[in-house]
Each structure stands twice: as C-alpha cells, then as structure tokens.
Amino acid sequence: METRVAVMGIIVENTESVEALNALLHEYSQYIIGRMGVPYREKQISIMSVALDAPQDAISTLAGKIGKLNGISVKTAYSNVISHE
C-alpha cells in the first residue's frame, strides 16, 4: 500500500459541527500522526492542523467529508514523501 504524508488546515466557524468533525477524525485516527487546535477567540473561530500518513484516496475522502460539514473549511497540502508498505 502506498501512503503519502500530508497536512490538513481546518478552519471551524460553526461550533455546532465540532462533534461531527471529531467523529470523522476518530474514524481516520489510524492515519493521523498528530493534530493541533488553536482557538482564536477574538474572531470566534478555531484553527486546526492535522498531520497524516495515509493512502491518497483516504486523505481525499476525509478532506471531502470535512469540507461538507456546515461552517468548516479544509485545505490539504501534500508532501513528496511517499511510502510503500
């Protein structure tokens, strides 16, 4: 199986979608290297980054599911690091 290292940048503007976001991240937890969240209280948003090592289709699927959540934006940056397991 071929995996890639990537990072997702996630902006949470609607706190009502956080439970669904956490459920998705839990569903893909086997691929998550680490995650960091920073609340930006002045703007009433949260900023997250999630580092992943996963098959490209799993990364794309997760990003697509996150992007469909109300009030949540996501962008993914891929590294050139590819592993063959």
Across residues 27-32, what is the average pLDDT?
98
Phi-psi group of 26: left, alpha or beta (phi > 0 → left; psi -120 to 50 → alpha; rest → beta): alpha
**Closest by Cα among 30, 28, 22 to 46:** 22
pTM over 0.85: yes
Residue pLDDT, tens place only, 36-73: 999 999 999 999 999 999 999 999 999 999 999 999 99
Distances (CA, A) of 62 to 40, 42, 43, 44: 24, 29, 26, 24
**pLDDT(11) > 90:** yes
- Residue 7's pLDDT is 98
Locate the domains of the chain by residue range.
Answer: 2-47+54-84
**Closest by Cα among 45, 40, 35, 41 to 71:** 45
CATH architecture of 2-47+54-84: 2-Layer Sandwich (3.30)
**Closest by Cα among 69, 11, 63, 67 to 78:** 63
